[in-house]
Amino acid sequence: MSKHVRLHHFSGGRFQPKDIPVVQEGPLSVYVNGQELVTLLCTPSKLEALVVGFLAFEGIIRGLEDIQSLTVLDEDGYADVRLTSDFVPPRRRIHTSGCGGGITFSLETHGSAAMEDNSSVDPRSLFPLIRELYVEAQSYRESRGIHAAALADGEKLVIVTEDVGRHNAIDKICGEAMLRGIPTTGKVLLATGRISSEMLRKGAHMGTPIVVSRTSATTMSIDLAKRLGLTLIGYVRGDSFYVYSHPERLVLPKPAPVLSR
């Protein structure tokens, strides 16, 4: 997902030639039933998952059974999707706050009722999960110019994705989960980038009651998390983090009773 680029490095008052890893980015034009839907600027990895996740979040498909065929030509930046039903391209495009000027066709939240999920996690378990995400995110470690996301079961990471666009990284999570038959409900969604309202909607769509970021949230995402019943966590650093909404899912285990002699 990255390639080495030769450049001039200025340090100590002088220039020196240097080779450094730079994250790859390119366009992926998605066609549905022969009609161009969108061109995504993305990192060329897990592109099938990206396409499937994007279509699911946009409400174009509900499951893999809605896809008759999917062909992705990585080098050509082309994806051809054939649905099992007719397709009418949406007319309304919304520019998101994502890197690279993301596109969505809807701001609706699928299943907009408050999430009724009684799952809980030990708040201390989030620290090793975030650390594991950075260990698994190889391109991030190499170039620092990419976003990473993960799906966790509370104890370990189940899926890890990377992309120049933070929305794309979440789309890849959804798509890979669908392709591999991994349930997302009740899981923890982790991301290295800012959690905007659009990204929180994606967490709600997948049924992940806990959404965690190493950085900040936005006012709109906080309001939405409160309304949808999601636990939103940000600024996971060292041994601390902020809980913006629904802290009841974070439960410290009760200390073992001390037996008197």
DSSP assignments along 234-248, one per residue: EEEETTEEEEEE-GG
The rounded mean pLDDT for the chain is 89
| CA 74 – CA 121 distance, rounded (Å) | 39
**Is residue 98 domain-shared with residue 206, that is, in the same domain?**
no
- 97 or 223: which leads in pLDDT: 223
Mean pLDDT within 171-196:
96
**Is residue 153 domain-shared with residue 205, that is, in the same domain?**
yes
**Is residue 56 domain-shared with residue 127, that is, in the same domain?**
no
Q: Looking at 72, 104, 136, which one is the last position of a domain?
A: 104
**Is residue 168 domain-shared with residue 100, that is, in the same domain?**
no
What is the CB neighbour count within 10 angstroms for residue 93?
Answer: 10
Does residue 174 carry a catalytic annotation?
Answer: no
| CA 207 – CA 229 distance, rounded (Å) | 11
**Is residue 95 domain-shared with residue 128, that is, in the same domain?**
no
Q: Are 185 and 206 in contact (CB under 8 A)?
A: yes
**Is residue 45 domain-shared with residue 83, that is, in the same domain?**
yes
Per the structure, how many domains does the chain have? 2
- 57 or 98: which leads in pLDDT: 57
Q: Which of 99, 103, 199, 233 is catalytic?
A: 99
**Is residue 93 domain-shared with residue 193, that is, in the same domain?**
no
Name, in order, each residue with C-beta under 8 angstroms of 91's C-beta and a sequence gap of 6 or more. Answer: none
Q: Are 117 and 248 in contact (CB under 8 A)?
A: no
Say what percent of the chain tops pLDDT 70.
87
**pLDDT digit string, tens, across residues 69-92:** 999 999 899 999 999 999 988 875
**Is residue 132 domain-shared with residue 186, that is, in the same domain?**
yes
**pLDDT digit string, tens, across residues 87-124:** 988 875 544 445 444 555 555 554 456 777 788 899 99
CA separation, residue 29 to residues 32, 79, 84, 112, 154 (Å): 10, 6, 20, 30, 35
**Is residue 132 domain-shared with residue 98, that is, in the same domain?**
no
Domain with 97, as residue range(s), is 26-104
Please report, for the domain that includes residue 87, its CATH number. 3.10.20.10
Name, in order, each residue with C-beta under 8 angstroms of 153's C-beta and a sequence gap of 6 or more. Answer: 187, 188
**Is residue 41 domain-shared with residue 74, that is, in the same domain?**
yes
